[in-house]
C-alpha cells in the first residue's frame, strides 16, 4: 500500500508517498516553507499545495506539531493560538477533498522508528524525542503508541517550557556550541528518565544527523540511540498512522 505522508514542522512542511510494505519512499520528498503566521488557513493552503504537487487522490497521514486528540488540536505549541479547539482533520479534508489522519508529529516519527527503524527489534517502553524548533516526544509500549506525551512542555528554570531552553532551535538562536547545547539537552533527558524510566530513548529530528558531535556529552542511565530514519521518520509515521486507522 502506498500513502502520502505529510510532516508539518515549525519551519517546513514535508511530504512524500510511502510504500508501507517496505517503509521506503516511492517519490522524491517535497518541502514547502511553513507560513510565518502559522495560522490554520495559511497552513491548510500549503497542505493542499503538497497534495497537488503529488497529484495524489488517496488517504493522507499527517504529523502535526502539537497535541492532537481525535483530530482536534488541544494546544497551540509553536503555532498560532487560533488552532486550539480546531478539528485539524476536517480543516485539511475541506482544503483538499481527501481523507486525513492527523497525529502528533513526534508520535508519528516514533511510530516509524519502532516499526522500521532503530526501535524495530526492541520490546518494552521506548521514548522518541524529536529535537527541532521544539522538543517533541512519542511513547511506545512494545511498539504500540501511547499518544500525546508532550515532555518538551514541562516548565523549567523560569521558562514556560523546557524546549525554550533546550531545543536545537535555541542552539542556533543563542549560537551555542554542540557541547553547550548538549549539556542542556542532557538535563532534559535525565528529567525524562527520572520521571518515566524508559528502556530506550531514541533521539530524532534534524540535529540527530550530527549525533557524533554531541553524543559524548549525553549521560543518561538507560539505552540511548540516534533515530535511523532521520528526517524521513515523520513522513513515514504519518503515512503508517493513516494505514492503521484504515485497518481498524
Give the mean pLDDT per block of 10 residues along the chain (248 residues).
94 95 94 95 98 97 92 89 96 98 90 92 91 88 87 92 95 96 97 96 88 96 91 92 88
Question: Which residue has 505522508 as its cell numbers?
Answer: 5
What lies within 8 Å, CB to CB, of 56 at 6+ separation is 4, 17, 98
Distance CA 180, CA 228 (A): 24
Distance CA 195, CA 205 (A): 22
Rounded to a whole number of angstroms, the distance between the first and last alpha carbons of the chain is 15
Distance CA 61, CA 201 (A): 24
Question: Which residue has 511553513 as its cell numbers?
Answer: 34
Distance CA 77, CA 86 (A): 13
pLDDT at residue 149 in the model: 86
pLDDT at residue 44 in the model: 98
Distances (CA, A) of 164 to 79, 134, 196: 14, 7, 21
pLDDT at residue 15 in the model: 98
**Which residues sit opposite 226 in a β-bridge?**
203
Residue 90's φ and ψ, nearest 5 degrees, are: -65, -40
Domains of the chain: 2-107+232-247 (3.30.420.40), 123-227 (3.30.420.40)
Would you call 214 helix, strand, or coil by DSSP? coil
pLDDT at residue 48 in the model: 98
pLDDT at residue 248 in the model: 64
Distances (CA, A) of 207 to 91, 169, 174, 232: 31, 10, 16, 13
Number of CB atoms found within 10 A of residue 168's CB: 23
pLDDT at residue 97 in the model: 98
pLDDT at residue 63 in the model: 95
Distances (CA, A) of 232 to 17, 23, 107, 119: 11, 10, 14, 15
C-alpha cell at 231: 528526517
Amino acid at each position: 500500500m502506498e500513502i502520502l505522508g505529510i510532516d508539518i514542522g515549525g519551519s517546513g512542511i514535508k511530504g512524500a508517498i510511502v510504500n508501507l510494505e517496505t517503509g521506503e519512499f516511492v517519490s522524491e520528498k517535497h518541502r514547502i516553507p511553513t507560513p510565518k503566521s502559522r495560522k490554520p488557513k495559511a497552513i491548510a493552503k500549503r497542505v493542499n499545495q503538497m497534495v497537488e504537487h503529488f497529484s495524489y487522490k488517496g488517504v493522507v497521514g499527517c504529523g502535526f506539531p502539537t497535541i492532537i486528540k481525535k483530530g482536534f488540536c488541544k494546544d497551540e505549541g509553536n503555532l498560532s493560538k487560533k488552532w486550539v479547539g480546531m478539528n485539524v482533520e476536517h480543516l485539511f479534508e475541506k482544503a483538499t477533498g481527501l481523507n486525513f489522519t492527523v497525529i502528533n508529529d513526534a508520535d508519528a516519527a516514533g511510530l516509524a522508528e519502532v516499526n522500521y527503524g532503530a526501535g524495530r527489534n526492541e520490546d518494552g517502553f521506548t521514548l522518541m524525542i524529536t529535537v527541532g524548533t521544539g522538543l517533541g516526544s512519542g511513547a511506545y509500549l512494545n511498539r504500540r503508541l501511547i499518544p500525546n506525551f508532550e515532555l518538551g512542555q514541562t516548565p523549567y528554570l523560569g521558562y514556560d517550557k523546557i524546549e525554550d531552553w533546550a531545543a536545537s532551535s535555541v542552539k542556533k538562536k543563542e549560537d551555542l556550541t554542540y557541547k553547550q547545547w548538549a549539556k542542556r539537552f542532557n538535563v532534559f533527558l535525565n528529567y525524562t528518565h527520572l520521571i518515566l524510566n524508559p528502556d530506550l530513548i531514541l533521539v530524532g529530528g534534524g540535529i540527530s544527523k550530527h549525533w557524533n558531535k554531541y553524543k559524548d556529552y549525553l549521560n543518561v542511565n538507560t539505552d540511548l540511540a540516534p533515530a535511523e530514519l532521520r528526517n524521513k521518520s515523520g513522513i513515514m509515521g504519518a503515512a503508517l498512522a493513516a494505514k492503521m486507522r484504515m485497518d481498524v
